[in-house]
Amino acid sequence: MDILETIRQELRREAQSIEAAAQKVSESAAQAVELIYNCPGKIVVTGMGKTGIIGRKIAATLASTGTTAIYLHPAEGIHGDLGMVQTGDVVIAISYSGNTSEVIQIIPYLHFHKIPIIAITGNLDSQLANSAEVVLDGSVPAGFEPFGLVPTCSTTVALALGDALAVALLKKRDFREEDFARFHPGGTIGRKLLLKTSDLMHTGSAIPLVNAQAGLDLVVLEMTGKKLGCTCVTEDNGVLCGIVTDGDLRRLISRGIIGLQQTAREIMTPAPATIQANALAVDALNLMEDKKITVLPVVDLQKIPTGIIHMHDLIQAGVVG
């Protein structure tokens, strides 16, 4: 037995199953999207066994992309949990055979409360398919699953159909990155898409600043006192004209062209990269990485420094990564 070829073959079969499902997509998929989009309540996803695990993932994906959704275990449903399903909801029921007893047993309750059903099934003549308002064909080619019993390709297709519905819905809702971030405030995604430069920058007296005519001694004192490894350099009117960093000083010393008589203007890097306070923190990160710098002045529209942000600030906030 060639293990690697077995793995490759399974991956090809699952890919072929999804491609076959894509070819079978019909107007019923659009009807399912409209039914979910216009749902005044929540979406309840249900399925038994490994299909139920797929159902949990579909519910989670819908919930994270702007659709109120929960998962209902059908066995728990027929023993009391059906109370979480109410008029105005829509149910997505997943069963490859379409005759899973636990799923079938909740159908009378759904019909009594006029709760529409979207079925994802591989059997279009099943009890589930015949009871549903919308049926999505989740069938896979014969012989694609081990012994015709182990759900591999069929669960992959069901998951892909659920993902496709979620993507169609987020586009229909004009769901944006900022919306997605609001549902993920504790993760890297949320931090990258919600945190502003103003949330992390050093402000007020913490900003290292010297006048362009300041001597090297004042430059070093300002850099040392503010502990950010740099100082902004401004004109008499407060406009930023340059920056001096630890790296600048090291390079000048190594070349033997620096002395206490020199001014900030003579040793600064002119016209440094800057960012505004309302920019996303991730934009500051991208700019730093592009310019290969570790500190970035924050300026207003008149180019007057209002803050400064260091790479360490972004790392501590979890924006990096």
User: What CATH number is associated with residue 239?
Assistant: 3.10.580.10
In sequence order, what are the beta bridge partners of 89? Answer: none
- Among 115, 140, 175, which residue terminates a domain? 175
Q: Are residues 97 and 226 in the same domain?
A: no
Q: Return all residues near 174 (Cβ < 8 A) that are at least 6 apart.
A: none
Report the chain's mean pLDDT, rounded to a whole number: 90
Out of 81-90, 113-122, 173-182, 244-253, pick the least confident.
Answer: 173-182
Out of 86-95, 188-197, 259-268, pick the least confident.
Answer: 188-197
Instruction: Answer whether residue 182 is part of any domain.
Output: no
- Among 175, 208, 243, which residue terminates a domain? 175
Distance, CA of 6 to chain centre: 33
What pLDDT, on the 0 to 100 scale, is given for residue 186?
A: 54
What pLDDT, on the 0 to 100 scale, is given for residue 171?
A: 87
Q: Are residues 82 and 220 in the same domain?
A: no
What pLDDT, on the 0 to 100 scale, is given for residue 181?
A: 57
What pLDDT, on the 0 to 100 scale, is given for residue 16?
A: 95
- Token pair belonging to 25: 């997509």
Is the model's pLDDT at 118 over the cut of 90? yes
What pLDDT, on the 0 to 100 scale, is given for residue 184?
A: 54
Q: Are residues 171 and 201 in the same domain?
A: no
| pLDDT, tens digit (0-9, with 9 covering 90-100), for 280-319 | 888 898 999 999 999 999 999 999 999 999 999 888 887 7
Is the model's pLDDT at 321 over the cut of 90? no
Domain count, the chain: 2
Instruction: Answer whether residue 192 is part of any domain.
Output: no
d(C-alpha 169, C-alpha 156), whole Å: 20
Instruction: Answer whether residue 188 is part of any domain.
Output: no
Q: Are residues 8 and 157 in the same domain?
A: yes
Q: Are residues 46 and 139 in the same domain?
A: yes
What pLDDT, on the 0 to 100 scale, is given for residue 105?
A: 96
Is the model's pLDDT at 33 over the cut of 70? yes
Q: Are residues 127 and 232 in the same domain?
A: no
Q: Are residues 7 and 151 in the same domain?
A: yes
CATH number of the domain residue 29 falls in: 3.40.50.10490
Out of 8-12, 26-30, 106-110, 247-251, pick the least confident.
Answer: 247-251
Instruction: Answer whether residue 160 is part of any domain.
Output: yes
| pLDDT, tens digit (0-9, with 9 covering 90-100), for 194-214 | 788 999 999 999 999 999 999
CA dihedral 194, 197, 199, 201 (to 10 degrees): 160
What pLDDT, on the 0 to 100 scale, is given for residue 117?
A: 98
The confidence band for 72, taking pLDDT boundaries of 50, 70 and 90, is very high
Instruction: Answer whether residue 180 is part of any domain.
Output: no
Considering only residues 149 and 50, tell me which one the structure prediction assigns the higher pLDDT.
Answer: 50
Helix (H, G, I), strand (E, B) or coil at 181: helix
Q: Are residues 73 and 114 in the same domain?
A: yes
Considering only residues 231 and 189, tell me which one the structure prediction assigns the higher pLDDT.
Answer: 231
List the domain range (segments joined by +) for residue 203. 197-316
The confidence band for 253, taking pLDDT boundaries of 50, 70 and 90, is confident
Q: Are residues 164 and 225 in the same domain?
A: no
Q: Are residues 124 and 228 in the same domain?
A: no
User: Percentage of the chain with pLDDT > 70?
Assistant: 92
Is the model's pLDDT at 148 over the cut of 80? no
Structure pTM? Answer: 0.65
Instruction: Answer whether residue 184 is part of any domain.
Output: no
Instruction: Answer whether residue 93 is part of any domain.
Output: yes
Instruction: Answer whether residue 29 is part of any domain.
Output: yes
| pLDDT, tens digit (0-9, with 9 covering 90-100), for 153-190 | 999 999 999 999 999 998 888 866 665 655 555 555 65
Q: Spell 101-123 as b/e; 16+ CB within 10 A means b.
A: ebbbebbeebeeeebbbbbbbbb
Nearest C-alpha neighbor of 92 from the set 129, 142, 40, 55? 55
